[in-house]
Structure 1
């Protein structure tokens, strides 16, 4: 039987992570990606660099400059307490392609003109530098980020437009800053080679934008803020280049089928608030290779694998959306502004994190990643972890939690319940090594387990 050919559309962090992992699993993978058509700088956290290394994208990880000082002006308070790493996206994207080629992945630099799909195959027409080319794929991975065509079932947050300004300044120390303004928020960066970057997020529904030929003047006025003035002190900001793009939070209602899958921003794109875009994109992509491997090698588990992917995408989207909502709500000065009003109440009023309560834990059968395949197992479900937790360091949690639940129910009417629970819990954990047992005890306490361990 001929090995299936997989085509990944997009070579950003999500597409690259999936493509490289599939190549490691032995699949023939072709990545089709057009070069970025505008200049961009992004901020990365240490956890993003760790995720890139975990995905084998080492060249991309070393592109980051930093750690660099990061100043924030939010709710009238100026702080420089955090750092972040800065990357020029052109260099970063080139490094991602080098990582893929080093892993044996074919990279084709081209624009996708059309995709015709059936339940068994995908026919693509792409435009390369040498002319049009046709490709055929048995499995298609959509990883073109926010540029990917959206389905009608997509859920969208408040419509947000980002205006980006790039210009050349004097070489110096790399740094970044973020500030809240009456009509939105702005993120800015200085690179060591003197490049400057300023981006502002605006509300599409309420902002009266000028005509395109007046946008640069509009941005110049918006940059006259106290923090931006200090950050770009003494600069004339000549020959500024402008780019506009949507940064609306979007969730696709359908993220996969037996022969295709959406990953990264193509599946869920969240508000880039505080520079978490790449982290959020990677978060939704790192487990996709196991889903794809299951769809191809274990078609009888297709429903299970697709349910796992869809549930995970939806869970991550809502978690990140609520985190953004809570961060927006911290800004109290502009409560009457349409921009802040809409974003400090979306997507709902549910808490980002639930208060731990051992009594609300439950055992459920759910899809899990078992090696390179999606399987099914008993997991511990909580209000804060609705998808469930299967194991810690390879130790299944459901049997331990079930035992403790039974003991609590059995001993609740006895005076010696507290002592018995201690003894039974100790019996349950005593077969484990000391470090693993301690870790599980700490996890139980964090879940609101009502008894102390001795």
Structure 2
């Protein structure tokens, strides 16, 4: 019996990571994607590089090796922060395609015109080509059609400006503005990027965007420090939505949403590539379960939906707390609308040993979604299964029954004992 054919729509980090993960599981995979039509750069952290490496995107990883010094002007402070890595998205996207081809994934360049369900899934491209598959992965980011959104943040737009300046040392910076915030970067070859994020309401007309953005740059000390006089002139502008959106549903028995197609967050919440990878790395195991163990479909869908929602809320709260740090802008509509969204729940909840409980939850085991006893904590509502190879639920049960810690840990290697003791202290034990 031939393996089910899988179509992935989108060759960004989420689509590529999902496709390569599925190839590792033995599935034939075809990725359909348009290539990026505009120049862009992103600042990424070391954890993004580790995520790319883990996902098998080695070629793309090598494109993310341009370290840059970073400055921050926020809440009246001017800080020299640790470095970030500047990533040319057009080069990065080409490297992603090379990684896909090296992994044995079929890559089709084309624009999706129509997606329908008819004896599986049928995808019609602009050139008339029709592709069929038993399973569909939606990974077209914010461009993916969205029937409904479950949660939507304040309407936000980012305006990316690009121009060519003089070559120099790579650098980046971020600063708060009265009605938004700006991120900027200069690459070694002199390419310059400046992006301002604003409320979607009240923007000038399209014809006035370039002059409006240039006027903002003329009043920025950071712009004067990072760029040459070219920064003061109007530049090419690309507008895109930055509204935080959680999809109304991100999974069914024959399709799955990953990356920004499942959850897209405000850029202040963290790096978009890391967010995309966070939801995509689990997807191959979920899909494998849906195809190989249909009797576990409900469990697999529960796993994916819950983790996408938890990731969304976590990143949304990170963004909320960054906005809230800017006390000097209190009272301004842009800031007031974002300093309390999505809720008032703290990003990290205080540990409470008495509140720990053992429950059955979906987990990943041997390439499939399974069910196991996990420890549910205030900070980990979906549960913690293992810590450094130690299954925590049996251990917590014995401690809650009154057994001594030394007796519970007896027989475990010293290194594992150290990790477990540290975790227990963090949970308020002792």
The TM-score, its normalising length taken from structure 2, stands at 0.98
What is the correspondence of 1:51-450 to structure 2 with a 5 Å cutoff? 51-118=51-118, 120-127=119-126, 131-205=127-201, 208-224=202-218, 225-235=220-230, 240-273=235-268, 275-407=270-402, 424-449=404-429
What is the rounded CA distance, in whole Å, between the counterparts of 1:124 and 1:257 in structure 2?
Answer: 17
What is the rounded CA distance, in whole Å, between the counterparts of 2:132 and 2:197 in structure 1?
Answer: 39
SS in structure 2 opposite 1:364?
strand
Structure 1 residues 236, 52: CA separation in 2 closer, same or farther (over 3 Å shift)?
closer
Number of aligned residue pairs: 429
1:81 deviation in Å? 2.1
What is the rounded CA distance, in whole Å, between the counterparts of 2:270 and 2:345 in structure 1?
Answer: 23
1:74 deviation in Å? 0.3
1:236 deviation in Å? 5.0
What is the rounded CA distance, in whole Å, between the counterparts of 2:326 and 2:180 in structure 1?
Answer: 11
1:404 deviation in Å? 0.5
Q: For residues 320-343 of structure 1, give each alpha carbon's deviation from its aligned partner in whole angstroms, at most 9, with x where no partner exists.
A: 111110110000111111110011
- Tell whether 2:1 aligns with 1:5: no
Structure 1 residues 277, 302: CA separation in 2 closer, same or farther (over 3 Å shift)?
same
Q: For residues 166-219 of structure 1, give each alpha carbon's deviation from its aligned partner in whole angstroms, at most 9, with x where no partner exists.
A: 0000111111100000010000000111100000000113xx222211111011
SS in structure 1 opposite 2:111?
strand
Uncovered stretches (5+) of structure 1, i.e. residues with no partner: 408-420
Maintained 8 Å contact 2:211/2:234: no
The TM-score, its normalising length taken from structure 1, stands at 0.93
Task: Output the aligned Cα RMSD.
Answer: 1.2
What is the rounded CA distance, in whole Å, between the counterparts of 2:173 and 2:181 in structure 1?
Answer: 11
Q: Kindly name which structure, 1 or 2, has the bigger radius of gyration based on alpha carbons.
A: 1
Uncovered stretches (5+) of structure 2, i.e. residues with no partner: none
